Copies of this chain bind each other. A is one copy, B any other.
């Protein structure tokens, strides 16, 4: 006997009804809502019915409805706000797969016990090409900081970096001289504004001629150029161009299916 749903003895003993063959109730409701969102029955920008309406429709408690809705939030499909309701953000899960990293330092993917030596620090007006990469306007004033990173043991250079700070943060520039960790961490600490978002672009390029001597780059002239851009809620915080000799560096990432 595939089990009945209603026990029908006492008024409302509650507890999980014997499986109806389709898993937990909250998951059934989740799938129902997901299907409606995908089919546009609840269009993007529109509202999902309120919790109490869903309780009535599916004949379950608020607990169960909330469990389903929480899952939709986790998948980035809806947003919920008190007094406003549940709004559809996207017709498909936004995080079917995900790469998780413990900290922004993981973006670097090389040992943090490295030393930085600043070679130059100049207030520049952006040319068109650089402005395009920074997402800024040509002619804007940014602070450019050029540096070389080596292993702590004073070994060979690992990479060359050009970092750009927006004008409003240029006052931090001098402090970077004796900064131990990565620049973005120092800026995060000094401004008190946490970094909320970061982007990274990876290119293969010839090592720029003026950098080759700094890296003892004799053999190959190929470089992996990583362009990292960090944002706080207030906007752009720092953008860095990191040139690694191709022979000594590769970038590795891992993605997992979510649940």
Residues of A at the B interface (CB closer than 8 Å) are: 74, 76, 92-104, 106-107, 194-206, 220, 222-224, 246, 250-257
Contact = CB atoms under 8 A, between A and B. Distances in A.
Given A94-B100, A201-B251, A206-B222, 6 more contacts: A197-B254, A199-B255, A200-B252, A200-B253, A202-B251, A203-B250
Nearest to A200: B253
A101 B98 contact: yes
A256 B196 contact: yes
A200 B255 contact: yes
30 contacts: A74-B74, A93-B102, A95-B98, A95-B101, A96-B102, A97-B101, A97-B103, A97-B198, A98-B99, A101-B255, A107-B255, A194-B257, A196-B256, A197-B254, A197-B255, A199-B252, A199-B253, A200-B252, A200-B253, A201-B252, A201-B253, A202-B224, A202-B252, A203-B251, A204-B204, A204-B222, A204-B223, A204-B224, A206-B222, A253-B253
Contacts of A98: 95, 98-101
A53 to B, nearest CB: 23
Contacts of A107: 255
Given A98-B101, A102-B96, A204-B204, A254 B198 contact: yes
Contacts of A257: 194-197
A255 B94 contact: no
A193 to B, nearest CB: 12
A199 B97 contact: no
Contact of A100 (B97, B198, B252): B97
B100 A76 contact: yes
B195 A250 contact: no
Contacts of A102: 92-97
Contacts of A206: 220, 222
Contacts of A204: 204-205, 222-224, 246
Nearest to A229: B254
A147 B252 CA distance: 24
A223 B202 CA distance: 12
A219 to B, nearest CB: 11
A96 B196 CA distance: 10
Given A97-B103, A255-B200, A222 B224 contact: no
